[in-house]
Structure 1
Amino acid sequence: MTFRRTRCPHCKAKLEAGQRIHPDCIEPWAEAEAAKKEREEAKRARAAAKVERAETKRRKEALKTRNDVLAEAKVAIQAFRRLEELSKGRGCISCKRSREEVEAGPWRPGGYWDGGHFKSKGAHPELALEPLNIWLQCKSCNAGSGKYARKGYTVAASFEANLAEIEGQELVDWLNGPHPAKHYDMDQLTALRNEYRAKTNELKKERA
């Protein structure tokens, strides 16, 4: 048993006997069908591209060394701490210039701000991934320029004095150590990197 179409596939109005589509609807229906097919093909292409990107990312991730992931974890934690401090309205930990003061100056490659380490990563690798060792610094202070440092202080001394004033001497004493060596395996480093990337993305959404 066959069923005859009683409604036009384009305008949905009732068809006459023997009609499958209204004559005036043939062209717009064909155009609509072509557009629908194009959208479906574009959707399939996007899905395939997404799968390909995921596979490319997986292959690249599999080729990374521990040092690669360690470097990425350091960058992720620095980026989060820099954004976190900016979101609190903080200025430079070393010279105490405000965001408005720093950003009123000439633009520098990479922006106006860095995530500065109280204890350097090279001399103190055990604190390289410690968020509390990273504070907001203007590019000038992080580069070691004493132009804006407290009178009679080096940049490092200003960093320590201001950190003690703002966050407390207890934190400064703890950061000054000593600290045991840290040994992160690949999984731990990957988890840290992903955690702080996610935190940064969440903070960006909150600030948007």
Structure 2
Amino acid sequence: MLQPVRREKKCRACPTRFVPTRPLQVACCPDCAQTLARRNREKAEKRAATIERQKTRAALEALKTIPQLIAEADRAFCAWVRARDAGLPCICCGETAQSAALTGGEWDGGHYRSRGAASHLRYNEDNCHAQLKQCNRRGWDLASYRANLIGRIGLEAVEALEQDSRAHKWTRDELREIRDTYRKKLRELLK
């Protein structure tokens, strides 16, 4: 019986070319075989560590409470509002900021109807606008906010906000969806 002709192969561990003595041989010598085994083991360990981190991250996400998810959704939503209203003056006082950056340090996402009084409107895009920090604290001028809001969204929309008094209890899935949606919108807006 004829023996098959064995072609030269390139060693996977070094640049040497060799004629294999076994059909599935990939290394030219035992030292290269050890090097390959070490590389494969390191790759497998890295892959296992990545999978473990993903499992841990998923478990931590599942354990988040509703207040934690509300805080994350609020941060994402208000960051998007600040980016959306970049270049516009404060909705309440009409002043522009000292710096051009709409960061959380100088600007807030100010709600016309407060999150405490109308929590079902906390993620309503018509109810929230960029507002200077000092205007968003207690005692801000509701009349000027309302007048400027009418200028931006119209009287019908403002009256609809004022008359909306339905109750809503946020679920974890809704809050995760809101958080992810506004993170995505922010990325698209900043492109």
SS in 2 for 1:90: coil
Q: Percent identity?
A: 35
**Superposition pairs for residues 51-200 of structure 1, below 5 Å?**
51-86=51-86, 89-98=87-96, 101-103=97-99, 110-144=104-138, 154-200=140-186
Amino acid at match of 1:196: Y
Q: Which amino acid aligns with 2:93?
A: C
Q: Is the 8 A contact 1:117 1:135 kept in 2?
A: yes
Output the CA distance in 2 between the equivalents of 1:183 and 1:166.
29
Structure 1: where are the runs of 5+ without partners?
16-29, 146-153
SS across alignment from 1:181: coil
- The 1-side partners of 2:43 and 2:92 are apart by 51
TM-score of the superposed pair, with normalisation by structure 2: 0.69
What secondary structure, in the 3-state scheme, does the structure 2 residue paired with 1:50 have? Answer: helix
Of Structure 1 and Structure 2, the greater helix share is in 1
Structure 1 residue 182 displacement after superposition: 1.5
The 3-state SS of whatever aligns with 2:70 is: helix
Aligned partner letter, 1:140 = Q
Q: CA deviation at 1:137?
A: 0.9
Distance 1:52 1:174, change over 3 A: same
Once the two structures are TM-superposed, the CA of residue 120 in structure 1 deviates from its matched residue by: 0.8
- Residues 79 and 104, structure 2, Cα contact 8 Å, conserved in 1: no
Q: Distance in 1 between matches of 2:109 and 2:165?
A: 21
Inter-partner Cα distance in structure 2 for 1:121 and 1:80? 17
Report the CA distance between 1:117 and its aligned residue: 0.7
Supply the distance in 1 between the matched residues of 2:125 and 2:141 (Cα, whole angstroms): 20
Partner Cα separation in structure 1 for residue 184 and residue 91 of structure 2 = 25
Deviation for aligned residue 1:60: 0.9
Q: State the shift of 1:4 in Å.
A: 6.7
C-alpha distance 48-198 of structure 1, shift in aligned 2 (>3 A): farther
TM-score between the two structures when normalised by the length of structure 1:
0.64
Give the number of equivalent residue pairs. 172
Instruction: Report Cα offsets for 1:57-112 as digits up to 9, x if no partner.
Output: 111112122333233223322222222222xx3221112223xx4317xx9x9422
Partner residue in 2 for 1:25:
none
Q: 1:42 to 1:6 in 2, by over 3 A?
A: closer
